[in-house]
Copies of this chain bind each other. A is one copy, B any other.
Amino acid sequence: MTAIGKTARTQRAVERACHEGAKLFSEKGYSETTTRELAAAMDVTNGTFYYYFPSKEDLLRQICEDALAEITAAVTKAVDGAESGLDAVTQMIHSHVRTIVESRHSHTTMLTELRALNGEHRVTIVAARDRYESLVREILASAKADGSLKTSIELAPLTLLLLNLLNWTIFWYRPNMGLTGDEIADRMVTLFLNGAVNPA
Contact = CB atoms under 8 A, between A and B. Distances in A.
A37 to B, nearest CB: 14
Q: Is the interface of A mostly helix, strand, loop or mixed?
A: helix
Copies in the complex: 2
Contacts of A191: 153, 158, 161, 192, 195
Contacts of A165: 161, 164-165, 168
Interface string A149-170: 1111100011011011111110
Interface range on chain A (Cβ under 8 Å from partner)? 35 or more
A192 B187 contact: no
A117 to B, nearest CB: 12
A73 interface: no
Contact of A164 (B116, B152, B167, B196): B167
